[in-house]
Structure 1
Amino acid sequence: MNAPSFHLEHRQNQVLTPRLQQAVRLLQLSTLDFTQELQQALSTNPFLEMEELEESGVEETADMADGADLFDAESPVDAVTEAPRDDGLDPFPESESWNQAGKDRRDGGEDTLDLLDLAHSEISLQDHLHTQLNVLHLSDRDRLLTALVVEALDDDGYLRVALDELRAVVDTEPAVDESEMQFALKLVQSLDPAGIGARDAQECVRLQLLALPDSKIATQAIRILDEEFKRLVQRDINGLAHVLNCSPAAVEEILACIRRLEPHPGWAFGNHTAAFVTPDIVVRRVDDQWCAMLNPAAVPKIRLNQMYADLFQQHRESHHADLSTHLQEARWTVRNLQQRFSTILRVGQAIVQRQQHFFEHGTLAMQPLGLRDIAEELELHESTVSRATNNKYMATPAGIFELKYFFSRALNTNQGSCCSTTAIRGAIKEMIQSENSQAPLSDAEITRLLTQQGLQVARRTVTKYRQMMHLPSVDMRRQHA
């Protein structure tokens, strides 16, 4: 039987320090996630503070444009701002107090418009429907059931909860039966806006068609929804014309009527704020060259609270290990903040330098570019470039693009040169946009036109690119006179 033995072995491994791990994690975050991360750090770390910009901070934007060093590990991220002062003055003097301002408004004085007078109160979909139900003469039982249906509607205005589930919630005597729930649903569906309370898109459109004035087009549209919904989804114009015994142009008119309806009737109510993308890089033309600069709105104004750091160093004790950890993490955060935006700026500048033709002539002039090309130019690892471009955006005169958009593989042409796949997708989109709507181009015809321009692309590749751009097929794009 073998006895256990011990031996020593030297081995080298690459291990990321905690600071580098934090730097890698911060680099790959999007602007929104990065902002939330810093807000969390500000709320938990006493050695970090947010600084405000001065009105004279226009010079810092110029420094960004010149690519200057914007950060200092032990100083503010941007231009130093003056600390707030307590001069003992009352910020609300008696002559400008709230009561005095209210008195001026009641007395009808001039310049007494208050911002509260201009405040706009958003009305929710449920409030709008309850207002209509309140003027109806309903029994207490019906009012309860209709209110239950209204509260179950989602933001689109659809009822995506089964009536049996709603009925199980109501605890009344006698028990609610299915016919009562159906009546409550029909009552809600009769309210404004039309299409509210539908269970699916087909029912939503049908409710809106029933609310239209009686006409031949509305009647035929309801028939298509009820009997030929599959042909409608496939946009089978000729098949629908045969079923309805009318011309294809008449079918186009019916479909145009359906397209004018609102598939999301609930969107007209409530506060539906669009989520805007904050670009990390801004591209501008400087002296006949396109240059990249950091977007000041995307750079957080965070610095190390030097006063707290000095006090801690002067009164440092062993039982303050948590504060020592916070101070170290604060320094790491400020330094990694510098490294993140420095890397993003370098990558953005390299991309703009490689894609000058795109900014001059558009998508058709996009050059082939790979992550390895930028990594070799900047002497970075390819994974670092990938993290610096993932979920990062660039604002250009042509719009806002993700940094990943500027990378595409090369495709050889008949002339021996290279063309990017992004340029090919742009050519396909341009062909479809300029085609005759009554005789649209098929994927095979687009392939033939690309071949005439020297681009050897397979038909299945054209189909893949068209689907990537969410462009419909030839049959869906065809319109009849």
Structure 2
Amino acid sequence: MKAKLQTSLGQQLVLTPQLRQAIHLLQLSAVELEQELATAVESNPLLDWAEPEDDSGETESGTDDEAPEPWTETQGSWTSGGTPGGDDNAADRVAEPETLHDHLLWQLHLSHLSPRDRHIGMALIDAIDDDGYLREPLEAIAQALLPETTASVEEVKAVLHQVQRMDPPGVGARDLGECLALQLGLIDPATPGKALALRIADGLMDRLQKAGVAGLASELRCEPAEVETALALLRTLDPRPGGGIGAVAADAKFAMILSGAVAADAYVTPDCTIWRQHGVWRVALSGNATRLTIHRGYESMIGAATGEDASYLRAHLQEARWLLRNLQARGETLLRVAECLVHQQSGFLEFGDQALRPLTLREVAAELDLHESTISRAVSRKYVRTPRGTLPLRAFFASGIATGGGGEASSTAIQSMIRSLIGAEDPRKPLSDARLAKALAASGIPVARRTVAKYREGMNIPSSHDRVRVG
């Protein structure tokens, strides 16, 4: 082959370092962005963390002052009290959901226990899981108190009895039977079926599903009607007493875990906050990106520096300015996307999953005049705090299925309807997938049985055969 030279014309898209950085920052989660900023401050002397501003002080001129108002540091912190009068202060006042541990510790501090017993109580409360059960053995808790506090198992058990008297009823139980017995202990002794319900809770719960009402009545030497009365009383009790504390956030996290949007042990930091003010849904960023600023001391040294020192400082100053501009662009894009989602899914925020309308990335991209990939990066691993709990931004998107009335129903809304139908079914005769499909068709949503089965399995709901409950 003979070597030769030739010329040709062509077009090529080149991503500049600044554009690469903007794309990279947009797809980072809040936690990852915080780590990215910390690394940037360590490596670039021209970057510095901005000091919180006083209400009486003058704001420092620079890139941070040009940021949009909801993106300012003093209004973006969800832990500070804020000053009255600003629109974003309402976002600061969005209630942080109270956890079960917070609720129990609050009651413990109001109790008349000694400091030593209170220390034991704190260890017990720390060992209680989100459902309200104490899974750790008392011996392990007594061992964990060492060397600060030396307590016997009997002492730990005595304090546990005090914790079990707290709200919610049944908290601190070591198994289901004890949980039900604690709740039964608060009921009037004259309640029909209470004595028999206590006997069933004390070791006979596992026998119920196998033996049925008749077999249980034979073992207890009583009439089946009496067992029915006791079982009816047990059904009024809560097998998960801790689930009622912070229920909105817990249900939201559970839905996120089932949908695969977040791992069960993931740490989630919301990027935005949505709240309602005077009947209007509002959105604000909750990030700390504008805590960065230009280091004025090093910036003032550039004029006096010469040679390599001047080149070094100017290069890092340019990098710092690009980073601040890209952070501002990230905030503006994320805020626009969140405002669009709130506008499109206001019914979902108001009424829940069943009001979620079908929405795709392409529709949002068309409304905001952005590329679909930009929307995808903006919602990837981003979370928003709402009155319904902390949700992934992807939860606002859903595929659609045509309804009998000519409209569309989102897959999330259909899953919510299936969950409601199963929740209201007769446990002795649970609804099969075919009957669920007929019930949905009667509501104007024609779906196939296999589609119902796919949604049911996606929500980790067992089949009708496995949901049968005797008695």
Return the offset for 1:285: 2.1
Return the offset for 1:437: 2.4
Q: Which residue of 2 aligns with 1:444?
A: 434
Q: Which residue of 1 aligns with 2:282?
A: 291
Find the aligned partners of 1:221 and 1:410 in 2 and give their Cα distance.
43
Are the counterparts in 1 of residues 440 and 447 from structure 2 also a CA contact under 8 Å? yes
Q: Which residue of 2 aligns with 1:35?
A: 34
Q: Which residue of 2 aligns with 1:279?
A: 270
Larger Rg computed on CA atoms: 1
Q: Which residue of 1 aligns with 2:10?
A: 11
Find the aligned partners of 1:452 and 1:70 in 2 and give their Cα distance.
57
Q: Which residue of 2 aligns with 1:421?
A: 411
CA change 1:316–1:10 in 2 (3 A) is farther
CA change 1:79–1:440 in 2 (3 A) is closer
Matched, 1:366 2:366: no
Find the aligned partners of 2:398 and 2:74 in 1 and give their Cα distance.
41
CA change 1:461–1:305 in 2 (3 A) is same
Q: Which residue of 2 aligns with 1:50?
A: 49
**Alignment deviations for residues 234-271 of structure 1 (CA, whole Å, 9 cap, x no partner):** xx955999x9998999xx9xxx9xx99xxxxxxxxxxx
Residue from 298, 317, 328 that aligns with 2:318: 328
Q: Which amino acid counterpart does residue 78 of structure 1 have in structure 2? A: T
Find the aligned partners of 2:325 and 2:119 in 1 and give their Cα distance.
43
**Alignment deviations for residues 32-65 of structure 1 (CA, whole Å, 9 cap, x no partner):** 11111111112222111112334639xx9xxxxx
Find the aligned partners of 2:408 and 2:5 in 1 and give their Cα distance.
61
CA change 1:131–1:371 in 2 (3 A) is closer
What are structure 2's unaligned runs of at least 5 residues? 76-115, 128-139, 151-156, 158-174, 176-198, 241-264
Instruction: Map 1:77-92 to 2 at 5 A.
Output: 78=72
Return the offset for 1:312: 1.9
Residue from 307, 315, 328 that aligns with 2:305: 315
Return the offset for 1:456: 1.2
Are the counterparts in 2 of residues 439 and 478 from structure 1 also a CA contact under 8 Å? yes
Find the aligned partners of 1:432 and 1:220 in 2 and give their Cα distance.
26
Task: State the percentage of identical aligned residues.
Answer: 35
Are the counterparts in 1 of residues 302 and 310 from structure 2 also a CA contact under 8 Å? no
Find the aligned partners of 1:461 and 1:379 in 2 and give their Cα distance.
34
Instruction: Map 1:174-323 to 2 at 5 A.
Output: 237=209, 277-295=268-286, 298-318=288-308, 321-323=311-313
CA change 1:220–1:294 in 2 (3 A) is closer
Are the counterparts in 2 of residues 392 and 403 from structure 1 also a CA contact under 8 Å? yes
**Alignment deviations for residues 104-154 of structure 1 (CA, whole Å, 9 cap, x no partner):** xxxxxxxxxxxxx9x97997998955999xx9xxxxxxxxxxxxxxxxxxx
Q: Which residue of 1 aligns with 2:420?
A: 430
Q: Which residue of 1 aligns with 2:66?
A: 72
CA change 1:313–1:436 in 2 (3 A) is farther
Are the counterparts in 2 of residues 280 and 298 from structure 1 also a CA contact under 8 Å? no
Find the aligned partners of 2:350 and 2:430 in 1 and give their Cα distance.
30
Matched, 1:350 2:364: no
**Alignment deviations for residues 154-177 of structure 1 (CA, whole Å, 9 cap, x no partner):** xxxxxxxxxxxxxxxxxxxxxxxx
Residue from 362, 365, 369 that aligns with 1:375: 365
Q: Which amino acid counterpart does residue 450 of structure 1 have in structure 2? A: L
CA change 1:450–1:80 in 2 (3 A) is closer
Q: Which amino acid counterpart does residue 16 of structure 1 have in structure 2? A: L
TM norm structure 1: 0.58
Q: Secondary structure at the match of 2:307?
A: coil
What are structure 1's unaligned runs of at least 5 residues? 61-68, 82-116, 136-191, 193-204, 206-214, 225-235, 261-273
Aligned residues: 340
CA change 1:237–1:221 in 2 (3 A) is closer
Q: CA RMSD in A?
A: 4.7
TM norm structure 2: 0.59
Return the offset for 1:323: 3.4
CA change 1:53–1:439 in 2 (3 A) is farther
Q: Which amino acid counterpart does residue 300 of structure 2 have in structure 1? A: D
Are the counterparts in 2 of residues 35 and 300 from structure 1 also a CA contact under 8 Å? no
Find the aligned partners of 1:289 and 1:9 in 2 and give their Cα distance.
58
Return the offset for 1:347: 0.1
